[in-house]
Chains A and B, each alone.
Chain A
Amino acid sequence: MALHKARTAENRSMQADEPPNPKQDSERLRSLYEDNLHVIYRFIYSKVGNREEAEDLTSQVFIKAVRGIDSARGSASIQSWLFQVARTTIADHWRSFYQLRAHSLDDLLEAGWEGPAESQPVVTSATPQDRVRRLLEQLPEHYRDVLTYRFLLNLSIKETAARMGLSEANVKVLQFRALKKAGRLELEGVQQVAE
């Protein structure tokens, strides 16, 4: 495997206490995905909510990352840099998916995004499950119920309607309002963190 001396030197500037190693460059790339594939996939999944898009976007992120590894120099950690790549990839995707203007994306991106990515490694301790639990606690009871049945228990509209004693049409209305409210609470959470 060919390796450029210049690249090795660059690597050393990032990992100063390490002796030059001809395998280092590709090894660095290898650890990049071995260590982060699952965590990035889950992060992306929490943003798109389905496997097909999560797989596409995860592939895009890692291919970009592997090709652009040199631009990771100066980042606090490979992982925070990788999350940055994931963020821009998701932002590009959303721009077309939701047809939003760029500035509207900022709030969306901040949700579940803990800590300034440039200055410190990304904290990924808040799983979707944690965030959802936190949101559920803040929601009125029937909102909490409809979201619990629909998502945490993965029940159909019909099953949810039966359990809640509502019509199916009402369940659809209720889940809409519950998610709308949850979306607002997420935004408020982000704004509080930012203050």
Chain B
Amino acid sequence: MGSHDDDDNLITPDEPKVPSADTVEQYLRLHEHIEQLRQDKRPARPGKLTSEEARTYQAAALFRAATPGADEPDPDFVASLRARLAQEISTPPTTRALRVARGRVSRRGLLAGGIGAAAAAAIGVAVGSALPHASSQTPKWTTLINQGSGIWQAVATTDEIPVGGVKRFVTDAVVGFVRHTSEGYLALSGACTHMGCLLNWNAGARTYDCPCHGGRFTETGMSAPSSAVEYNPLPSIQTKVEDGKVWVYVVSAPPSDTLPTPGGTGGYPTR
């Protein structure tokens, strides 16, 4: 890092300095970056930066964080992350250890979005035998919970979804879609396998669209050809019909304040 400070030739209102061409580019690039931060959007990569330039961008991030209210987490985000983590920790330790081991093998993949696949998987779906495409495209995630450790929850009445219809459902830990086909009712996890963002059903295109990074899934849960990137298929969820209702088999996520027994928290306060 240079010791002299060429920036002490400051621009002042009365004597604007004409900047050289490449620095104009720098100003504009940073400006674009700041505007993206002000919209709370993921900024475009600024390209290769020197460490001094990176520090300038870091200062922009810091100042943005000081904008009143900016660094307050979105309650929806907090709630959904909590649900995912509650789900994650209710999986048996052996499964967890297995996934950790696997994560270690492909750290790069983990960062490139593999973790998102796991995160979405963590949203807690009992992947039954009914993963129709598992043989052709082996998903990175495996069985999420053991059979028997989930619960059945009713998410719709049979007459509310016509054949061809799709209904979104929300349980304590799972957001998903149940679809009425000629073969019956089928359900899928509603979290994108990229980063776990919640998908929207696009009735026109008959796809599940991810609002975050352009992921798209066909109604059967496969990565759609129009997806920005080919992602792992959506985990399927077991369904059954009983008492005129459609049930899905999901992991229960007890609220955190009902779980712990007194004295069991080892000095870490619970809420």
Which chain A residues have a beta carbon within 8 Å of chain B's beta carbons? 1-4, 7, 11, 15, 18-19, 21, 23-35, 37-38, 41-42, 45-56, 58-60, 62-64, 66-68, 78, 92-94, 96-100, 104, 107-108, 111-112, 128-129, 131-132, 135, 140, 142-143, 147, 150-152, 154, 157, 164-167, 170, 172-177, 179-184, 186-187
Contact = CB atoms under 8 A, between A and B. Distances in A.
Interface string B50-87: 01101111111111111110110110011001101110
B259 A25 contact: no
Interface string B229-271: 0000000000000000000000000001001110111111111
Given A30-B86, A42-B65, A67-B88, A59 B58 contact: no
Contacts of B77: 55, 58
- Main SS of chain A's interface residues? helix
Interface residues of B, number: 88
B260 A23 contact: yes
A128 B62 contact: yes
A131 B62 CA distance: 8
Contacts of A131: 62, 66
A115 to B, nearest CB: 18
B93 A2 contact: yes
Contacts of B45: 97, 99
B49 A63 contact: no
B56 A31 contact: no
A89 to B, nearest CB: 8
Contact of A35 (B13, B81, B263, B268): B268
